[in-house]
Amino acid sequence: MPHEINHSYKAVIFDMDGTVLDTLSELTHSLNHIFRLHQLPELSPQEVRLCLGYGYTGLIERAAPSVPADEQALLAEEFKQYYSAHCQGNTRPYDGVADMLAALRNGGYKTAIVSNKGQGAVSLLHEEFFRQLVDFSIGESPQYRKKPAPDMIEKALHLLNCRPEQAVYVGDSEVDKETADNAGLTSVLVTWGFRDSSFLESLHPDYLVHSCQELTHLFLPND
């Protein structure tokens, strides 16, 4: 794939979990805490990793597929409450993320985060890690359908005063690729998150990158 973007963009929009933040440890801890309360088998980080990307209800559906739907809804609500209170405990930006976001902003790009994580946790993590690095962060709420629906991306584009062809969506999963396609944005997938590189390559994103440095160079080839 090309090593730099041959197009003029105004904005770069990022997924949160698995893209700019390493949240796997805290998500695994929170999920297993809820599962223990309900005498459900605990999952390893690798198992949890493959269930992520679909929001809280999607996580429970994939992590506990044999549980009846009404119980899944209860688990999802309990997970939301517990995780929202503990989301900052073991969560950090991936190495190089802060420098990458700063470089993009200094290079003239508008930046934002759009995530299927609940808005409460997204707001807390935005304030802790990204307040000076991105314009805003949008999370799951009743106002918008979850990704891969384009609703949250469309809201972000409105706030950024950008057309779809002027923006790129950066993520780490099939959900993010489909979201970019549904919203009419160029797709960039990163290999350091919650999906394997070979799987991401099979999705045929517009760009596939393996480090924050490579991502920075994609948009700022002279840096």
Q: What is the pLDDT along the chain (223 residues), one digit of tens a residue?
A: 445 676 789 999 999 999 999 999 999 999 999 999 999 999 999 999 999 999 999 999 999 999 999 999 999 999 999 998 988 888 999 999 999 999 999 999 999 999 999 999 999 999 999 999 999 999 999 999 999 999 999 999 999 999 999 999 999 999 999 999 999 999 999 999 999 999 999 999 999 999 999 999 999 987 6
Can you give the pLDDT at residue 4?
A: 61
pTM attached to this predicted model: 0.92
Diameter over CA atoms, the chain: 55
* Angle of CA points 101, 117, 24, to nearest 5°: 75
In angstroms, the CA 219 to CA 223 distance is: 9
Can you give the pLDDT at residue 125?
A: 95
Q: CB under 8 Å to 40, separation ≥6 — which residues?
A: 64, 67
**Quick check: helix, strand or coil at residue 118?**
strand
All structural domains of the chain: 11-23+91-219 (3.40.50.1000), 24-86 (1.10.150)
Can you give the pLDDT at residue 123?
A: 95
Four-point Cα dihedral 118, 122, 125, 129, nearest 10: 150
Can you give the pLDDT at residue 221?
A: 87
- Which H or E element spans position 124? helix 119-125
